[in-house]
Amino acid sequence: MIDLRSDTVTRPTPAMRQAIAAAEVGDDVYGEDPTVRRLEETVAELLGAEAALFVPSGTMANQIALRAHARPGEEVLIGKDAHCWLHESGALAALAGAQTQQLPGDGRFDGRAVRDGHKPPLSYLSPTTVVAVENTHNMGGGAVWPRPLLDDVLAAARDLGLGTHLDGARLWNAAAATGAAERDLARGFDTISVCLSKGLGAPAGSVVAGRRALVTACHRFRKMYGGGMRQAGILAAAGLHALAHHRARLVDDHAHARLVAERLADVPGLAVDPARVETNIVMVEVAAPRSAQALVDACAAQGVRISAITPRRLRLVTHLDVDRAACMRAAAVLAEVAREAT
Ligand SMILES: *Cc1c(COP(=O)(O)O)cnc(C)c1O
C-alpha cells in the first residue's frame, strides 16, 4: 500500500525507535523530564524564541496559544480555511470562546486585509485581539508565505496592537522550500506552533514557542486542556531525533510532490499546476461529472491511498515513508483511473 493521504502516516524508523528506547525521562508535570527540557530548548533556539513548551498535538499547540492571546468573546483573524478553524473540531469556539473572521485570499493575506478586518473594542463589537498565519498553508496546497508578505501582516498587527500567532505545523517545509532558517520565518511572531509528527516523522508531539509570558500562559492552558504528560521524554526523544535527522531530507519530499504534479498535469479530467506545488502537498481538481471520492476508491483498489478533501478536490502528500518510485507509481495509478473514468 502506498499511502499519500497525509504526512502524518509515517512510522518511526528503527533509529528513532532506538532513541525512544534510550530516552532519559522524568515527570514532566513536575518539570522533571530532561529530554522534554532538551527538546523545548532545541526548538526555542531553532525558532529564535524566548521559551517553548512540548504538547501532544498541533491542535493543542494552536489552541492553547490562541487561548493565551484571546479571551472569550474576542476575535481571531485567520486566513481562508485555516487549520485552527477548519480541522480542530471547533475548539476556538468551544474552548477559547473566541470568534473567528476569515480574511479573503488563498489562505495567505496581506496587511491591508488585517486593517480592513480589524474590529476595535467598541461595546457592540467582538474586538480583534490576534491574527493567525499558517505557513505552509495546508488547504492552500502547502503554499509558502513570502517573507515580505509576513512583514506586511506583522506591521499591520503591530500598528493595531494585535497579537500574532504562526501555525507552523509545516514551518520545516517552508524553511526547506525557501532555504530560509526557521527562525527567520518565525521572526516577529508572538507565538509559534510547530509539529514533529508531520513531515519530520515523529509518532506524536508539537511545540508551542514564543514570548515567555505567553508560553507561561500556555503552560497552564496545556494542563487545563489535558495535555500535561508525565514521562513524555519517550516522545520528546523521537522529536529530537526527527529534528536532527529528518529536516534536511524534506527537500526530497518537495521534489517528489513536484514530480507527481508534473506526471498528472496533462491527464484529461484532472487539473493540477506543477508551478503551484511549492512543498509536499499536491492538490488536484477533478472535472465534473467525476467525483473525487470515486477516484480515491478506484486508487485504493490498486493499493494507492489518497484523500478527497472536497467533492472535487484530491490531496496527495509526500513524506518520509514514500520514495520517488512509490510516488511515481501512485501518480501513474491515479492517471490511469482518471483516464478510465472519462
Ligand atoms: C496538522 C496540522 C495541525 C495540527 O494537527 P494535529 O493533528 O493536531 O497535530 C495544525 N496546523 C496545520 C496547518 C496542520 O496541517
Cis peptide before 136 (omega within 30 of 0): yes
Neighbours of 144 (CB within 10 A): 23
Cell numbers linked to 35: 529530554
Tell me the sheet residues that pair with 132. Answer: 165
Ligand 1 centre to CA of 88 (Å) is 8
Residues 314, 279, single domain; the answer is yes
pLDDT in tens, 225-257: 999 999 999 999 999 999 999 999 999 999 999
| Residue 320: CATH number of its domain | 3.90.1150.10
Residues 225, 309, single domain; the answer is no
Per-residue confidence (pLDDT) for residue 288, from 0 to 100: 86
Residues 292, 176, single domain; the answer is no
Q: List the one residue out of 207, 184, 204 whose CA is nearest residue 194.
A: 207
Per-residue confidence (pLDDT) for residue 211, from 0 to 100: 98
Residue ending a domain, choose from 201, 225, 245: 245
Residues 222, 270, single domain; the answer is no
Separation CA 287–CA 92 (nearest Å): 34
Separation CA 255–CA 88 (nearest Å): 29
Residue ending a domain, choose from 200, 230, 245: 245
Weakly modelled stretches of the chain, pLDDT under 50: none
Q: What is the pTM of this model?
A: 0.97
Q: Is 195 in the pocket of ligand 1 (CB under 6 A)?
A: yes
Residues 219, 326, single domain; the answer is no
**Residue 90 is assigned to a structural domain of this protein:** yes
Q: How many domains does the chain have?
A: 2
Give the type of residue at 213: A
Neighbours of 275 (CB within 10 A): 10
Residues 239, 283, single domain; the answer is no
**Residue 257 is assigned to a structural domain of this protein:** yes
Separation CA 37–CA 232 (nearest Å): 10
Ligand 1 centre to CA of 61 (Å) is 9
Residue ending a domain, choose from 205, 227, 245: 245
**Residue 3 is assigned to a structural domain of this protein:** no
235 phi/psi in degrees, rounded to 5: -80, -40
Per-residue confidence (pLDDT) for residue 290, from 0 to 100: 87
Residues 181, 297, single domain; the answer is no
Residues 34, 163, single domain; the answer is yes
| Residue owning grid cell 495535555 | 227
What lies within 8 Å, CB to CB, of 161 at 6+ separation is none
Per-residue confidence (pLDDT) for residue 212, from 0 to 100: 98
**Residue 2 is assigned to a structural domain of this protein:** no
Residues 270, 166, single domain; the answer is no
Enclosing domain of residue 100:
14-245
Residues 29, 113, single domain; the answer is yes
Start-to-end CA distance of the chain, whole Å, equals: 25
Cis peptide before 289 (omega within 30 of 0): yes
Per-residue confidence (pLDDT) for residue 341, from 0 to 100: 75
Q: Whose CA is nearest to atom 4 of ligand 1?
A: 58
Separation CA 20–CA 235 (nearest Å): 7
Ligand 1 atom with the shortest distance to the CA of 195: 9
**Residue 9 is assigned to a structural domain of this protein:** no
Residues 42, 149, single domain; the answer is yes
Residues 198, 314, single domain; the answer is no
| Residue 232: CATH number of its domain | 3.40.640.10
Helix axes 324-341, 250-264, angle to 10 degrees: 20
Q: Whose CA is nearest to atom 9 of ligand 1?
A: 58
By most ligand atoms within 8 Å of CB, the mutation choice from 138, 145, 165, 309 for ligand 1 is 138
Q: Is 168 in the pocket of ligand 1 (CB under 6 A)?
A: no
